[in-house]
Structure 1
Amino acid sequence: MDSEFLEIPNMEDIVTAPEPEPEPPRLTQSHSDVHARLSAPLEKYTLYETKTRLYIVASNAREVQFKVMEIDMTGPKQDLTLIVDPAVYTRAEVMDVLGHMEEEGGGNLTKRLTAWGLLGFIRFTDGYYMVVVTKRSVVALLGGHYVYHIDKTEMIPLSRGGDEGKTKSKSADEARYMSIFQSLDLSKTFYFSYAYDITNTLQRNMEREKRDDDSDDEEIHSFNHMFIWNHHLLRPVEEIMDNVFEWFLPIIHGFIDQAKINVCGARSVYVTLIARRSHYFAGARFLKRGVNDRGNVANEVETEQIVADLVTSSFHDKREGIFNSPRYTSYVQHRGSIPLYWSQDVSNMTPKPPIEINLVDPFFASAALHFDDLFKRYEAPILVLNLIKSKERTPREGKLLREFSQCVEYLNQFLVQRGKKHKLQYTHWDMSRASKSRNLEVIEFLERYSTTVLEKTGFFHNSKGIQKGICRSNCIDCLDRTNAAQFVIAKKALGYQLRALGIVSDVNLSYDCDAVNLLTEMYHDHGDTIALQYGGSHLVNTMETYRKINQWRSHSRDMLESIRRFYSNSFVDSQRQEAINLFLGNHVFEQNKPRLWDLPSDHFLHNNYYFDNYYLRRSYIFWWTEINLLVKKYEKYVRRKKELQIMPVSEITEPLNFPGSDQKEPVMEVLEDKLDALVSYIPPYPGFFDNYWNECYKPRSLSSFHKVFAYNMNSTSRYNSDDNPFRPRKEIKGLEDITEDKKVSEVPEEVSKIPDDPLITIYKYTLQAMA
């Protein structure tokens, strides 16, 4: 239902307000039953206020279940007084509650606004503000769950007290803090979802659903804190509320895009790209380099490529079982700054400031923490692709090359005892030199390397197989060269994913077919977004540069972006860094302590040298955490919950007894509620809903094609009338096949059962110098 929540001008309207649709079967018929639970996540928030109170009435997508929150605006400004009503109301019941509120407020209950999400609370020098999402747009659809981009937000002050004791200087500080906070534009590249956990990978989300209900692994049942950018805004309510994420949304910062490959007019394959930026060591390019004392690197981004054959939209399959649809695949890559203590001084106003290694650690303790975390998140093997320069007239990147090589060599010497598969598999290749040479081919090397990567890590295929390991790519900025390398690996992964879905029989896709052109466009936007967030400009060198095509045409664009990046790094980065530090809670205002703009440096905001002993007392020899190297027993969860198959209503006749529950009631008569009971009753980790039929397929709701996201999605069919998206669009004569992976290494055993398709080939792109 798209209409806004009903206005309440007087009591008569409240009493006679019509109900738009019949209520679904409820677990309780009275709002006094505080144990009632929502059958779908809260999605719409209507804010009402009186002179002393702020009321938030939240509803699900169909607006048939409601919850109420009350905020007292008369208390001390340093305190947040918040009361959450545990009851779940019907529409009629919530109207009665609002009528009672209006009576208590003396008829002064007025509607403030309608929001689509609550992000949390922030306080500077005075009272609290609440940050809400007031405008959103759909950017992706996964498993029937929409993913949204934040288009507009609003800050609502929660203080109604007087200004006693408030000096002019404090008011000026409050205004300046507010200005800094709002300079971080939340309407650019911030994303959320009501029902799908976008902070975790698809593999982790599916693994979570297939775990035993009594699993003691708390991390698997929670959002990934590394990517929750509003974590600081949620801290004030974490001590007040047990179910924070029932009311508040976790948001990520990065990039999300989705496009569709139409295969011969008969099948549709959805390609989704999700880039999650870590908030642990976040900041602007020249102000955040290398690693901090906790092992967090600058510009750390996890990129996931989800390829799905959406014959049906949900994660469930009638044959395989709940959350076991084999139509979903994914592949994950990682980028991050070189994990050493290094920096660049921008005070001399040069486009390429000299690189300085600030701290030489013979034990590489922070790098050890970083790689240990990669083992924890992705398992072994860890493939490290280092793309920085090796030969320079004035040594810059070469300093880091020697130190990084020594770092990996030092850490590897102790991993030998744990087996070869746990060693960091390090590869250095001077990509910049290759791109400028007439004798070296960038694409040719990356094609061979991408085959090696896919053979060693595999990819996630729901109910069939998993990805174990990660490819960690970096150049000096982790922008241009890194994005090009990740694209080539992603192209190879796309071939494997399409082959696993039965779409193609050869994993080697032509660079100029519609499918790869679509992927190229997506990764170009992906790289541009990451570059803007970190470097302040778009990509300087694109795939055209590294494929050595259209070089003269792109030269002027590359120069312009270089100038923009230099300007941003010289004049804008410090303001961006202040906004990031304030938003993430790296700096919190305290009386009699320096204000944010008075700090000479933010180094100690990101590094703590007086800290807990956990990081100080790590062994310099056994630098890893043993449990992170153990093989995760995921295989036993691949087929988990197959017994919970989707069945006709007539076949579900016995009561359901949920694990850890005293519930003995028969299943409700409606199939929707049967599936809701089967799917949603999981020990309460944040966001455990899977009511895709309520979110994607709203019953009794009029829709049209121009409003349907999937209909308006970018697609291969928009560019060519040819229905085959894997046929090359450019005829390149006289060029031999450079499918080097066929010559150098064999296709992995698990994907070598299907014969090769002669229509799908890869060509070597060697163009003669332009006249």
Structure 2
Amino acid sequence: MASLPFRDINVHASASHYAFTSPSSPSAPTLVVDRPSGDLRMNDGALLGGKRVSSIAGILGMIKLRLGHGQDRKKEMRGEGRKEGSQQARISSNYIPDKYIIVITKAQPMGRLKGHMIYKVIATEFLPLRERPLHDQDEDNYLALLKTFIKSSPLYFSYSFDITNTFQRQSQLDTAQPLWKRADDRFFWNRFVQSDLIDFRTSGSKNQHGQQPAVDAYILPVMFGMMEIVSTRVKTTPLTLVLITRRSRLRAGTRYFSRGIDEQGNVSNFNETEQIVLLNDGTSGMGGFAGGRGMENGKVGGSTGKEVQIMSYVQTRGSVPVYWAEVNTLHYTPKLQIRGVEPAVAAAKAHFSQQIRLYGDNYLVNLVNQKGREVRVKEAYEQMVKYLVTAPAESAQQDQVSDEKFRVVEPSGRQQEFDRLHYIYFDFHNETKGLKWHRAQLLLDRLHDALEKQQYFRGVDMPADLEGRLEVRNHQTSVVRTNCMDCLDRTNVVQSMLARSSLNRQLTDVGVLARGETFTSDASFEFLFRKVWADNADVVSKSYSGTGALKTDFTRTGERTKAGALQDLQNSITRYVRNNFLDGPKQDAFDLFLGTHLPETTSHMVFADRRPLLIQSIPYILAFSLFFVFVGAFTRRLPDAAVLPLRLFIIFWFAVGCWSLNFIYSNGMLYVNWPKLNPRPWATEGYNEAISNVRKDKVIGTLVARHERGLSTARYTNAEEGKKRIE
């Protein structure tokens, strides 16, 4: 049987090392992390002299934040010896890394899936390998970013079940492999912070050479996304409904700082959603104790005498696979940039080659608007598909509601790999305007034949198999890949409709529903289904845009309501504030945790605001102006006081406030909270252009040119060396 991660780990600390042991496996070797070097080794037996610190649920990983040592570090903090190139020259053997072990101190059970308990990370702790003699402001900022990120992220894990893979992929994997080796690399979210343990497992260390299989039990894969497990029933049939959304760690980020595709073929906001139904499975739910090897393969407890059936349906979502961006300028609608279709063909080929290999035929459902600013994204996507498929044949259907209801791009023959792409455009907003949301059913009608052919995964337990493997009865042969601009709101509505269609088909095939019947007739299950999918929408949206999803009133109730529209307005305003003023640090946290930025390669004071002081002060001038206008307007005036000076005072500060507000709005790129660790090219370009324009300003141009403290070029280029990491 494969080595599984330890369910219980004790941490022992001393001045020279941290030691990790499992009390339930006393004969297992101890993992030792030497302090302060961070060297790893396995020790046969317990290390004496270490004080027991705590019991933890697992090791999330290890991360190196800075390089520094002794007096050299103090000189850097005082600004001594800052000659050009000296930063790189001093990164040598006399530097000790500022490394931290991130441990999971609290995990919440979320329910059982085929007998395996799934947990959510609730709390973590950072164990320093080196006691810092003095505080480094950058180090504190790095730590604050990571702690906030982990605390707010929906992270899930299991000690005995691979939640990163769909049931269909699991049925094709070697269960003799350790859990971390079976994990899907796209959804193995702590892969970078686990790289020290994985490298040690693969090739050992300078003290212990060769592979170290005993480390497998300390490597715990964690998934970022949404997980909901509900024991329920349809009519009189008990079942377990599970919804899992897995967010890819590749090109992950926030709404406006991560769009389109990268050169490796990874698209922004890529999520794989798997809807699972388990029949006759008495081991699912929350009952029972979370430990014990007897529960791991779902063979213990709750047997109904009938074979356990698992049915799953998989969908994907992801950003339009061309080079494009939306540039924040403080305007409500960002500037849209399409940075080329033809240059992105190689990246799109890499993306769709992987998608076809993993999922089969891809039905590309595009929901962006066909008019206004979004039409450029629609046209770019269609142009990309035409580049990929062989001799594309196009067709369009229209009706009285819109000029173009559907647009279809299909290959004329089956001659190459990318002829397995099928593009379907549906003008979602135009078709459903006026609260006519029932018209979204038109898309399902258009996809009817593809969905029939697509099928779904179906497997049953093999009673004699100790590994808990399934006997596969049916495979899903294709996938629907849905997108809108953000791959959030419209996308989730359509995905929930596709999931509903598939679930009705599954329940009919196993005899729970009669032919032609739908689960809508069961009001309680209908309510549950809607709630689960609305929860999914909110989780995916919050991790990308900072708020819950829009249009969830339709997902939850089946109707578009005025209250839902008001909630959408509130979410839209919150998104505006977050995306312009709060998402920069959030993007930095993504880049830091996922390893797309390496802190040790950057200079000090990377988080410093290097804008000219006058530019920084204008928001404060605006605030003072509003305060003085408010005081002047509402302060009680003495009977014999002159009116004119007060009016002049109010008019003066009102004029100053109006000028300040206009300046900020006109030069919005100077006030967006940009990511500081991995600069975006379009942000650098826009910032420099804005600074150039300010220098020409008749009021403050000469002051900015004379007194600036260092242009944003430094702000955006000091991280260039570490902004990419090739694994």
Whether the aligned pair in 2 keeps the contact of 1:291 and 1:337 (CA below 8 Å) is yes
State the one-letter code of the partner of 1:358. Answer: R
> Residues 479 and 600 of structure 1: is their aligned pair in 2 closer, same or farther, counting only changes over 3 Å?
closer
CA–CA separation in structure 1 for the residues paired with 2:256 and 2:27: 48
> How far apart are the structure 2 equivalents of 1:370 and 1:39?
33
AA at the equivalent of 1:67? A
The offset of 1:453, in angstroms, is 4.0
- The percent identity for this pair of structures is 26
Q: CA 1:122 to 1:441, structure 2 compared with 1: closer, same or farther past 3 Å?
A: same
Question: Contact 2:437/2:559 (CA < 8 Å) preserved in 1?
Answer: no
Separation of aligned partners in 2, 1:421 and 1:239: 36
Determine if contact 1:48/1:54 at 8 Å carries over to the other structure. yes
Q: Following superposition of structure 1 onto structure 2, how do residues 547-562 of structure 1 map, counting pairs within 5 Å?
A: 549=559, 551-562=561-572
Deviations along 1:454-488, one digit per CA (max 9) or x if unpaired, are 21321000121111111000001101100000000
Is residue 261–residue 322 contact of structure 2 (8 Å, CA) maintained in 1? yes
Q: In structure 2, the residue corresponding to 1:352 is in which secondary structure?
A: coil
Gap change, CA 1:71 and 1:608, over 3 Å in 2: closer
Separation in structure 2 between the aligned mates of residue 122 and residue 42 of structure 1, nearest angstrom: 21
Instruction: Give the distance between the partners of 1:69 and 1:239, measured in 2 at CA.
Output: 17
Task: Give the AA of the match of 2:589.
Answer: A
Query: Counterpart of 1:42 in 2: which secondary structure?
Result: coil
Q: Deviations over 1:292-320 (max 9, x none)?
A: 111111100000011111345486799xx
Q: Give 1:538's aligned amino acid.
A: G
TM superposition shift of 1:365: 1.9
Q: Secondary structure at the match of 2:249?
A: coil
Shift of residue 224, structure 1, vs aligned partner:
0.8
Matched, 1:122 2:63: yes
- Summarize deviations over 1:173-200 as a string: whole Å, max 9, x none: 2222212222213453100011100111
Q: Please tell me whether the aligned partners of residues 109 and 120 of structure 2 are also in contact (alpha carbons under 8 angstroms).
A: yes
Tell me which of 288, 294, 297 is aligned to 2:267.
297
Given that 1:443 and 1:547 are in contact with CA atoms closer than 8 Å, whether structure 2 keeps it comes out as no
* TM-score of the superposed pair, with normalisation by structure 2: 0.67
- SS state of the match for residue 148, structure 1? strand
Note the alpha carbon deviations across 1:598-656, whole angstroms, 9 max, x for none.
Answer: 557145999999999x9xxxxxxxxxxxxxxxxxxxxxxxxxxxxxxxxxxxxxxxxxx
Cα distance, 1:367 vs structure 2:
1.6
Q: CA deviation at 1:129?
A: 0.9
In the alignment, structure 1 residue 542 sits paired with structure 2 residue 557: no
2:183 match: 223
Whichever residue aligns with residue 448 of structure 1, its letter is D
Cα offset, 1:548, TM superposition: 7.2
Q: Offset at 1:112?
A: 0.4
> Partner of 2:149: helix, strand, or coil?
coil
Q: Deviations over 1:499-534 (max 9, x none)?
A: 333322336525463223211100100000110000
The correspondence of residues 35-434 of structure 1 with structure 2, limited to 5 A, is 41-59=5-23, 63=24, 67-74=28-35, 77=36, 79-85=37-43, 97-98=45-46, 101-102=47-48, 105=49, 109-125=50-66, 126-159=97-130, 163=133, 171-186=136-151, 188-209=153-174, 222-241=182-201, 242-243=212-213, 244-265=215-236, 267-313=237-283, 327-347=309-329, 349-361=330-342, 364-379=345-360, 381-391=361-371, 395-413=372-390, 416-418=413-415, 422-434=419-431
Match in the other structure for 2:494: 485
For residues 353 and 430 of structure 1, what CA distance do their matches in structure 2 show? 21
SS of 2:495's partner is helix
Q: Deviations over 1:106-133 (max 9, x none)?
A: xxx4220110111111111143211111
Structure 1 stretch displaced more, 560-569 or 540-549:
540-549
CA contact (8 A) 2:123 2:151 kept: yes
The structure-2 alpha-carbon separation of the partners of 1:70 and 1:421, relative to structure 1 and needing over 3 Å to count, comes to closer
How far the C-alpha of 1:495 sits from its partner, in A, is 1.2
Equivalent position of 1:499 in the other structure:
508
Offset at residue 355 of structure 1 (A): 1.5
Structure 1 113/316 Cα, relative in aligned 2: closer, same or farther at 3 Å? Answer: closer
Assess, with a 3 A threshold, how the Cα gap between structure 1 residues 545 and 68 changes in structure 2: closer, same or farther: closer
| Letter of the structure 2 residue corresponding to residue 506 of structure 1 | R
Distance 1:120 1:509, change over 3 A: same
How many angstroms does 1:209 deviate by?
5.0
Q: Give the Cα–Cα distance (whole angstroms) in 2 for the partners of residues 507 and 51 of structure 1.
A: 70
Q: What is the letter of the counterpart of residue 115 of structure 1?
A: I
- Distance change in 2, residues 1:143/1:608 (3 Å): same
Question: More helix per residue: 1 or 2?
Answer: 2
Contact 1:495–1:507 (CA under 8 A) maintained in structure 2: no
Q: Is the partner of 1:269 in helix, strand or coil?
A: strand
Whichever residue aligns with residue 10 of structure 2, its letter is T
Q: Aligned pair 1:455/2:420, yes or no?
A: no
> Secondary structure of the residue that 2:194 maps to in structure 1?
helix
Aligned 8 A contact 2:454 2:477 in 1: yes
TM-score (norm 1): 0.64
Judge conservation of contact 2:534–2:555 (CA < 8 Å) in 1: no
Any stretches of 5+ residues in structure 2 without a counterpart? 67-96, 202-211, 284-295, 301-305, 392-410, 460-471, 608-675, 682-716
How far apart are residue 248 of structure 1 and its match? 1.7
Relative to 1, partners in 2 of residues 1:201 and 1:220: Cα closer, same or farther, differing over 3 Å? farther
CA RMSD in angstroms comes to: 3.3
Give runs of aligned pairs for residues 744-763 of structure 1, distance below 5 A. none
| Higher relative contact order (Cα pairs below 8 Å, separated by 6+ residues) | 1
Following the alignment from structure 2 to structure 1, what is the Cα–Cα distance between the partners of residues 58 and 531? 31
**May I ask how many residue pairs the two structures share in their alignment?**
532
What SS is found at the alignment partner of 1:418? coil
Q: Flag the 1:292–1:596 CA change in 2: closer, same or farther, 3 A.
A: farther
CA–CA distance in structure 1, aligned partners of residues 171 and 558 of structure 2: 41
Q: Give yes or no for contact 1:53–1:70 (8 Å, CA) kept in 2.
A: no
Q: Distance in 2 between matches of 1:271 and 1:451?
A: 24
Residue deviations 1:225-252, cap 9 Å, x none?
1111111111122222244442121111
Partner deviation per Cα, 1:366-422 (whole Å, 9 max, x = no partner): 22221111012112x11010001012xxx3110111111111122112673437994
**Larger strand proportion of the pair:** 2
Q: Which amino acid aligns with 2:51?
A: T
The answer to whether the 8 A contact 1:382-1:422 is kept is: no
- Structure 2 counterpart of 1:113, one-letter code: S
Match of 2:541 in 1: 531
Q: Given the superposition, is the C-alpha separation of residues 219 and 474 from structure 1 closer, same or farther in structure 2, using an over 3 Å criterion?
A: farther
Q: What amino acid is aligned across from residue 496 of structure 2 in structure 1?
A: F
Pairwise CA distance, 1:66:
5.0
How far does residue 264 in structure 1 lie from its aligned partner after superposition?
Answer: 4.5
- Whole-Å Cα distance in 1 between the matches of residues 602 and 233 of structure 2? 62
Q: Aligned residue for 1:719?
A: none
Give the direction of change, closer, same or farther, for the CA distance of 1:150–1:436 in structure 2 (3 Å limit): same
SS at match of 2:540: helix
Instruction: State the SS of the aligned residue for 1:207.
Output: coil
Give the whole-Å Cα distance in 1 for the aligned partners of 2:592 and 2:222.
Answer: 16
Which range moved further: 252-261 or 418-427?
418-427
